Amino acid sequence: MAVQILVADDHPLFRDAIKSAIDIPMGDDLEPPVITEAEDFGSAMAALNDNPDTDLVLLDLSMPGSSGLSALVSVRATYPAVPVIVISGTDDVSTVRRSIDLGASGFISKSARTEVIRQGVADVLAGEIALPEGMSLGSEHDAEIGDLIRRIRTLTPQQARVLGMLGEGLLNKQIAYELGVSEATIKAHVSAVLQKLNVDSRTQAVILLSKIGSDMLRDDAADD
């Protein structure tokens, strides 16, 4: 069976470039992968919901409907078995390290050559971590961000899903509908998230979450 890959990016030209790079047999497969496209975060999650057996997601973090690394948090919480490669126009070591710390299996710069994209995808499909060539991640230099990432990693999968949806701007009743649970259950999850993040309100939680990728988002917006 062919590998199934979701390419989630709001730029059609970049999606075309990614498809061109990876539209060949991968590893021991004898046929090219089946590639699905998504142009915003909502359609990316819908595509994963329609096909939870997706083998790999290539995820742009600055798509409509997402706020920086909250998109990665949501995907990893909802589909923990699906590896994610972050793709971004900002490839500084802090952005790469934070992506990996939050569960990404790789990072590919939007300026990468075709062969680098192809090799990165092949590496992750083989169970490896794909990083920009020659990059050493080191440790987080921002103590506040490092503490926040550690706190996020203590969330249960459902709590992480709720946090990601808060980052998308959804209300409790909308989150309850999406997850198929009661609004009271979501209120309990939100309370637990706030406690683990050591904040007093959902607004503060969203602000904290946005800080992880704020520099990246500013740089990407400048490129558009």
The model carries a pTM of: 0.81
Cα 222 to Cα 28: distance, rounded to the nearest angstrom: 40
Please report the pLDDT score of residue 172 as a whole number: 93
Q: Are residues 116 and 10 in the same domain?
A: yes
Q: Is the pLDDT of residue 65 over 80?
A: no
Please report the pLDDT score of residue 161 as a whole number: 83
Q: Are residues 150 and 119 in the same domain?
A: no
Mean pLDDT of the 189-193 span: 94
What percentage of the chain reaches a pLDDT higher than 90?
44
Please report the pLDDT score of residue 160 as a whole number: 86
Mean pLDDT of the 178-186 span: 92
Query: In this structure, is residue 112 part of a structural domain?
Result: yes
Q: Are residues 19 and 96 in the same domain?
A: yes
Q: Are residues 190 and 216 in the same domain?
A: yes
Mean pLDDT of the 88-104 span: 87
**Residue 201: which domain range?**
143-223
Per-range mean pLDDT, top range of 26-30, 61-65, 70-74, 158-162: 158-162
Q: Are residues 70 and 162 in the same domain?
A: no
Query: In this structure, is residue 92 part of a structural domain?
Result: yes
Query: In this structure, is residue 130 part of a structural domain?
Result: no
Query: In this structure, is residue 131 part of a structural domain?
Result: no
Query: In this structure, is residue 26 part of a structural domain?
Result: yes
